[in-house]
Amino acid sequence: MSGEKKKVGDGLQDVVATSSAICRIDIEDGRGVLEYRGYDIHDLAQNSNFEEVAYLLLFGELPRKKELELFKEELKERRDLPPQIIGLLTHLPPFTHPMVVLRTAISYLGSMDKYIHFKSHERSIEKAKSLIAKFPTIVAYHHRIRTGQNLIHPDFELGHAANFLYMLHGEVPSETEEKSLDLDLILHADHEFNASTFAARTAASTLADIYACVVAATGTLMGPLHGGASQRVMEMLREVAVPWRAESYVKEKLERGERIMGFGHRVYRQVMDPRTIELRVLAKKLAEEKEPKWVEISEAIAEAVYKYKGLLPNVDFYSASIYANLGIPDDLFINMFALSRISGWVSHIIEQYENNRLIRPRAQYIGADSREYKSLNGRK
């Protein structure tokens, strides 16, 4: 094989790595399809809420009324953080990126779990609920600590999305703000074998503990080609500053051979990501009540990128305007993605544990031909 030196397709594009019953992505009749457990993302966006979606991903079925009430209670009961984690958040250097903080805190949580290596269905579900519930508290507490503000403890009257905004800002959000974040969380909850989920499943396939798998996923999400794109989109929106500057900005960037963050997708190559359709509507709606300029600049950028490169916006593009209008600091954007995607990660990890075979692909070798080792003195 090494003699041929012809490279196979990079990036595992279109490679089906293993099977899963959680999420379906497809392109049908020229439109992108995304389903969680068989339910269309547009239906879920219009009718569901994050807690219900998290339940659906974890258990495979929509909850009945009593089951949903119980699940919501269980999440609320698990929101608190042990004092050691609060101590950790206090002691990390103030310049630490919130995603690095998050993955460090997850690892620390693992060190405090006496049953860390137990992988029965019940134990895994328990850990999954705890992680989904604690993610918002970690992010909000750390932000309050690094900005010198008092901690706002979880409010058990509030749902998942509203409680996060309350803990972050110290004010109960408006109905529009709550619904906007809730919808954003629904849309980011799962996406088949995206890079972070694949990292989680690869770790799970070695039978590593759930915290290790989630740390792998969190680290992978942070990269600018994945969840890290939304923070860069916001930097771009700030740099462009006014809609009329968008076209020249995009043109020049593309001429320099640079990528425009928030555009392009490995799977939805010629069709619009169905999540982007929902997020665009949401971003525009929120802009009517808040600052309109972020969406206006976004629209101008999208038009220019399509004109000069034929690329469509992805899930990270309109998320940036939404987060900005929810008062989320730029460097928390990736964490926002993680607050939602944790529900997908844990569902995939459990699915992997329960039908496991080690994920261990091969690499096509394209390096030097076999050669003889030369001693140090014999090398030219």
Question: Segment contacting ligand COA (CB under 6 A): 37-45, 210-218, 264-272, 344-352?
Answer: 264-272
Degrees, nearest 5: CA angle 123-128-129: 100
Burial class of residue 225 (count of CB atoms within 10 Å of its CB; 0-12, 13-18, 19+): exposed
Site for ligand COA in 241-260 (CB under 6 A): 259-260
Site for ligand COA in 215-244 (CB under 6 A): 225-226, 229
φ, ψ for residue 262 (rounded to 5)? 90, 10
Residue from 266, 284, 285, 293 in contact with ligand COA (CB under 6 A): 266
**Rounded CA separation 101/92 (Å):** 8
Of 142, 169, 188, 265, which is the active-site residue? 265
State yes or no: is 265 an active-site residue. Answer: yes
Closest CB to ligand COA among residues 182, 316:
316
Burial class of residue 156 (count of CB atoms within 10 Å of its CB; 0-12, 13-18, 19+): exposed
Least distance in angstroms from the C-beta of 181 to ligand COA: 19
Spatial CA neighbour of 347 closest among 217, 180, 225: 217
Residue from 203, 315, 338, 342 in contact with ligand COA (CB under 6 A): 315
Residue-wise burial string across 118-143, b where 16 or more C-beta atoms lie within 10 A, e elsewhere: ebeeeebbbbbbbbbbbbbbbbbbbb
Which string of x and - marks every residue 13-52 that binds ligand COA (by CB under 6 A)? ----------------------------------------
Helix (H, G, I), strand (E, B) or coil at 314: coil
Q: Does residue 264 interact with ligand COA by CB under 6 A?
A: yes
Least distance in angstroms from the C-beta of 287 to ligand COA: 21
Total interface residues for ligand COA by CB under 6 A: 17
Q: Which residue is nearest to ligand COA (CB)?
A: 264
Strand order in the sheet with 31-36: 23-28, 31-36, 39-40
Least distance in angstroms from the C-beta of 260 to ligand COA: 4
Q: 21 forms bridges with which residues in the sheet?
A: none
Least distance in angstroms from the C-beta of 192 to ligand COA: 12
Tokens matching residue 245: 């500057």
Site for ligand COA in 87-146 (CB under 6 A): none
Least distance in angstroms from the C-beta of 103 to ligand COA: 19
Q: 231 forms bridges with which residues in the sheet?
A: none
Which string of x and - marks every residue 191-220 that binds ligand COA (by CB under 6 A)? ------------------------------
From residue 59, alpha-carbon distances to 119, 124, 380 in Å are 16, 12, 63
Q: Does residue 187 interact with ligand COA by CB under 6 A?
A: no
State yes or no: is 316 an active-site residue. Answer: yes
Residue from 55, 166, 263, 337 in contact with ligand COA (CB under 6 A): 263
Least distance in angstroms from the C-beta of 50 to ligand COA: 20
Least distance in angstroms from the C-beta of 239 to ligand COA: 15
Q: Name every residue whose Cβ is closer than 8 Å to that of residue 292 and which is 6 or more positions away in sequence.
A: none
Closest CB to ligand COA among residues 42, 226:
226
Q: Are 142 and 151 in contact (CB under 8 A)?
A: no
Q: 313 forms bridges with which residues in the sheet?
A: 263
Of 142, 143, 316, 348, which is the active-site residue? 316
Least distance in angstroms from the C-beta of 254 to ligand COA: 6
Q: Does residue 11 interact with ligand COA by CB under 6 A?
A: yes
Number of Cβ atoms within 10 Å of the Cβ of 158: 17
Tokens matching residue 216: 């792998």
Closest CB to ligand COA among residues 57, 221:
221
**Rounded CA separation 123/290 (Å):** 43
Closest CB to ligand COA among residues 210, 297:
297
Question: Segment contacting ligand COA (CB under 6 A): 73-81, 140-148, 312-320, 342-350?
Answer: 312-320
Number of Cβ atoms within 10 Å of the Cβ of 316: 29
Which of the residues are catalytic? 265, 316
Name the residues that contact ligand COA, by CB under 6 A.
11, 225-226, 229, 259-266, 309, 311, 314-316
